Amino acid sequence: MTKITIYSAVVCPFAHRSRLALLEKSVDFDLIEIDLQNKPPGFTEISPYGKVPVIKHGEHRVWESAIINEYLEEAFPEPSLLPKEPILKAQARIWIDFANTRFVSAYSSLLRSPDSEQQKAAAVELRNHLQFIENEALAKLSGDGDYWFGNSISLVDLTYYPWFERWAALEEYRGFQIPDELTRLHRWRQAVSQRESVRAIANSKEFYLQRYARFAKVPVAVN
């Protein structure tokens, strides 16, 4: 079978998603690390958007992490990382879309914005998103299990987790912590963090604090 090559960057949470999917599926792959601040000549011939992740599978390329992960699900169907039932598969795609269009946006705005009012608005939005995940996802879909859809890891778990591995940056530079009362969310985060795939490529709190240190200079407006 043709080997996968993934173009990645260790600091990129989107690339993190697809590396986790490859590991969960035990797909053999070559890793090419890209310095996003000093991209190699000709990189746009591989990645039309100039971003990571991108995978090459034979003569074909796929980019955008959510699309890459669905491609991997179809190209390497076992173990499955999406529910089989149509309604649950639809729910999985809804929550992946929620991550891409709402959760990540609020997270990034809070961390990166130099404007105090934008930080405050993003903090409110992010808290609301976390509460929504607790009540509408984990409380309704997880049952007695630790993961988004119960006892089995899914692409949804892998979609969100990279931002939670980086949460120390929000705590350190924005004073933003996950509320204690979101017990299902804390349980989920702990369970995913112990996955063999996650531990295999995990980085330390200190690693992320160093990588995001430039945001320490931005005034903190979150209480």
Distance CA 189, CA 158 (A): 11
Q: For this structure, is 12 an active site residue?
A: yes
> 56: part of which helix (H) or strand (E)?
strand 54-57
Residues in the chain, overall count: 223
- Catalytic entry in 9, 11, 12, 126: 12
* Backbone conformation region of residue 75, classed left if phi is above 0, alpha if psi is from -120 to 50, else beta: alpha
Cβ neighbours of residue 178 closer than 8 Å, sequence gap 6 or more: 130, 167, 185, 186, 189
C-alpha 21 chain-centroid distance: 11
Q: What is the DSSP letter of 168?
A: H
Question: How far is it, in rounded angstroms, from Cα 154 to Cα 161?
Answer: 11
Q: Which two tokens stand for residue 211?
A: 């990588």
Q: Enumerate the β-bridge partners of residue 63.
A: 54
Measured CA to CA, the distance from residue 14 to residue 85 in angstroms comes to: 26
Contact between residue 137 and residue 182 where contact means Cβ atoms under 8 Å apart: no
Residues designated catalytic: 12
